Amino acid sequence: MPTPGLLPRLRRALLQTASRAWRRGWGLLPARAAALRVPLATLAQHAFGAPPRPPRVDRLPQAALHRWLSRHATPSADQRRAIRAASRSWPDAPRFLVLLDARGAEPAAVTASLNSLRQQLHMAWRGCVLVGADDPPLDPRDTRVSIAQHIDPWPDADWVMLLAPGDRLTETALHVLATVAEAAPVARILYADECLAEPGQPGAMLWLKPDFDADLHLARGLFGPATAYRAALAAGLAEEDRDSFALRAAMAVKPAAIRHVPMVLATAAASPEPAARRAVLETALAAQGIAATVEPAPLLPSACRIRFALPTPTPLVSVIVPTRDRAALLATCAASVLERTDYPEIEFIIVDNGSVEPETLALFNRLRRDPRVRILPSPGPFNYSALNNQAAKAARGEILLLLNNDIAVIEPDWLREMASQAMRPDVGAVGAKLLYGDDTLQHGGVVLGIGGVADHYLPRAARDDQGPFGTLALVREVSAVTGACLAVRREVYRAVGGLDAERLTVAFNDVDFCLKIRAAGWRILWTPFAELYHLESASRGQDLAPEKLRRFAGEIATMRERWAAELADDPFYNSNLSLEGAHAVLADRPRWAPPWQASDG
């Protein structure tokens, strides 16, 4: 016999989930829970109260971290023996030359790094410890390790790695890298996840990295101790520090030749001094002819913010705002953009979707006095995609800025930041950091696969939260951003055909648009340096009419039909993170298995 009240409570949970999705404009909107694959746990949480969410990956207690690593990243004794045996019998196994720059280093730190090298289960390696003339003598305790003041070359090496004193490789590091290298012959750089040792603190913190993200690499560096470079690429590796070489190497190869290994393969010692990194970055950018300045990132001073210069003359930005009545919202939005934005070239296009209220018509009359304002009539049923496409055709700007009418500016330089990022040739679209009125995060980029489709990253995080691994503090690449505030060059918008006004009239059109841009070869960026408030669909309200739910179901089906592979694997959300929600929580079942588990079947 069913529990009394169970079905009504589940029904309420279903509607609450749908309501949140409607307010977001996407997400877990279950017209039929089974058809839309809304997890039963999600409904149960809303019906009966959610249990405490597991801690975020950057706030994980050490005991929980060690349990997770033991379960998912540590082979059993039998698996260790099998790895060693396979390594000994592996014909033409990838060979690694591991350099340890020990000049002026503490002997204990050098010993820790060498011990981790000697414990490798993969056998095809040699080590070279670089020492200074005045350094105390070292005993490598392994014939495969040489001590020298200059690199002792190994002509047969396929890959070269560089450790800093105190860096420790896991016993499986070279085995995993060798396995990936064998399967990816075009790769020239391999880099893995790692633990970060906190200076003066016990334990370490997981750093689960995205697939290669050029902007995040510039800002803080993605290549740690578990990074291997093709030997031909590594010429001169020991002549400069690891951070400098990592920047230069990434700029020397195509992104497709850089392979991320989503497995923790090392514990890294302290990072380079922030001032030293900024100097290295300025030199690297100047060598590429990129006009930019480098400064500490406000929320993460150990990393960098890069301010890219705007071209001359300053490009015109066409701000496109679809609206229907709700005069107070539009008035706030227009005043924010026209009066509080420090950008000289703005065209403000209002797409009027049949406003009739006297307050709205009076507002239109006032706004028309500003020569920067244009009002395009577009009556008929609400179709977000069609409204934006109409305005994009009429826009004069080199940059189009899609903007909801419930957005309010916080800092005046927001548009300079978005425009300067959007004008970079390899960038297709740029999203902003959007906040609720209570200063918690509404939009920090979009994660694919959440709830079967997509959702916003770290909703309700504090405004000053730097995010795991600096993800809320730094410009980074994402798979998609919300159309509530999205900058795109007009040429890109037209090249991909704009928004889908046929099958994605209200929801998911922005995600689909971003995925089309990525498929065409451009990148999508999210920047924390353009902050705005978003009342989040206050202009649309809540409407759970059956026809609305049916439309959402169709839009979800369209996304799954069109982008099934992309929704299954977001390259910028580590495979070790759970898709139960975009909260950066470790997955109970990671979407990537280590090679010894794969070989076990």
pLDDT of residue 548: 82
**CATH entry, 317-568, from 3.30.300.30, 3.40.50.720, 3.90.550.60, 3.40.50.1970:** 3.90.550.60
Q: How far, rounded to the nearest angstrom, does the alpha carbon of residue 166 sit from its chain's CA centroid?
A: 28
In the 8-state DSSP scheme, what is residue 462?
B
pLDDT at position 205, please?
86
Half-sphere exposure of 334 (CA within 13 A, CB side): 26
Topology annotation, domain 62-271: Spore Coat Polysaccharide Biosynthesis Protein SpsA; Chain A (3.90.550)
Indicate the pTM of the whole model. 0.90
Stretches in the chain below the pLDDT threshold 70: 1-51, 198-203, 236-239, 272, 536-544, 598-601
Name residue, tokens 């001032």: 275
Cβ–Cβ under 8 Å, residues 326 and 364: no
Residue 139, pLDDT score: 77
pLDDT at 24: 44
Calculate the CA dihedral of residues 324, 325, 326, 329 and round it to 10 degrees.
70
- Cβ neighbours around 79 below 10 Å, total: 18
pLDDT at 570: 97
- The Cα–Cα gap between 441 and 471 comes to 13
CA distance 592 to 574: 9
pLDDT in tens, 241-271: 788 889 889 999 999 999 999 999 999 987 7
